Structure 1
Amino acid sequence: MKVILIVLLVLSGLTTFGQQALHIYGGKGHDVYLGCLNCDNYNANSVWNAYGTYGSRYNAKSIWNSYGDYGSEYSSTSPFNPYAGDPPVVVDKDGGFYGYFTVNEYNDKRANFKLALTIYKFYDLIRDDVAKWYDKIFR
């Protein structure tokens, strides 16, 4: 019960940045598209679409794939490896930079908006049930 209360308190102040879609790009040159971070769960490019490329916990291009290059806690290109040398970046459609998508708190260019911070904190739980977490965060 205590964990649920903490989660609800953290999630209560989240924003989806209005209509501005935020996209994740990974790989050493940040040239691999990893999905839309704040698009709804019906969007084919959304990391919240559990049946889509970027929301599936089994797809190689999904941040939720704990065995993939972009979701493993051991990969140098994963947001969930605190020592990653090449974590993904978050940008908008115009190329506006929102920061590196990384759990590394010491990265001075880390994306620190509320949605990113929530994902950093709960990613291991989110990957188990993306749809449930989408509802908690956005509804």
Structure 2
Amino acid sequence: MGFKRFFLFVSILMCRAFQAQTLSLYGGSDQNQYLGCLNCDTFNKDSVWNTYGDYGNVYSSKSIWNAYGNYGSPYSTYSPWNSYASYPPAIVDQDGNFYGYLTLNTYKSERSDLELAQVLCKYHESIKKDISGWYDRLFR
């Protein structure tokens, strides 16, 4: 009996691991600009949590953390941090499934209801100041 339960438990864990979706951000008016991986670890070059990569660096033009860039400015129509953004980044998995828009704009239809998206929206100012620390809080 114990072996069967153990096998069932391991099987469930393996299924969950294989079903885990990599979530990516795409921005711009046609959502054709790749903006990085939303749930990849800090060592992944495409991660929004990698402060040395193109998508996690606060100075990169492709980063949602760049307060002066198209995709991170609170005034840009392409930024998740603009409460009136018309074209915030879309959250998409590797199979092309759409998980909504990452945006503070509460009037935007199809705003993401993912827990991670909600946390990012609520704490984005704090996260921008300590990206790797927030990664540890959220994922470790």
Query: Is TM-score (shorter-chain normalized) higher than 0.5?
Result: yes
> Radius of gyration: which is bigger?
2
What TM-score bracket applies, with the shorter chain setting the length?
Answer: 0.7 to 0.9
Check if 1:135 corresponds to 2:136: yes
* Aligned-partner Cα distance in 2 for 1:108–1:71: 20
Aligned residue runs from structure 1 range 115-134, under 5 A: 115-134=116-135
Shift of 1:19: 2.5
Other-structure match for 1:9: none
Other-structure match for 2:77: 76
Aligned residue runs from structure 1 range 1-139, under 5 A: 19-139=20-140
| Greater length-normalized contact order (CA 8 Å, ≥ 6 residues apart) | 1
Q: Which amino acid in 2 is paired with 1:131?
A: S
Count how many residue pairs are aligned between Structure 1 and Structure 2.
122
Larger helix percent? 2
> Does the 8 A contact of 2:86 with 2:108 survive in 1?
no
Q: How far does the alpha carbon of each residue in 1:29-87 deviate from its partner, in whole angstroms, 9 at most, with x for none?
A: 11100000001111000000011110000100000000000000000000110111111
Structure 1 unaligned runs (5+)? 1-17
* Aligned-partner Cα distance in 2 for 1:80–1:112: 16
If the length of structure 2 is used for normalisation, what is the TM-score? 0.85
Following TM superposition, the consecutive aligned residue runs of length 4 or more in structure 1 with deviations greater than 3 angstroms are: none
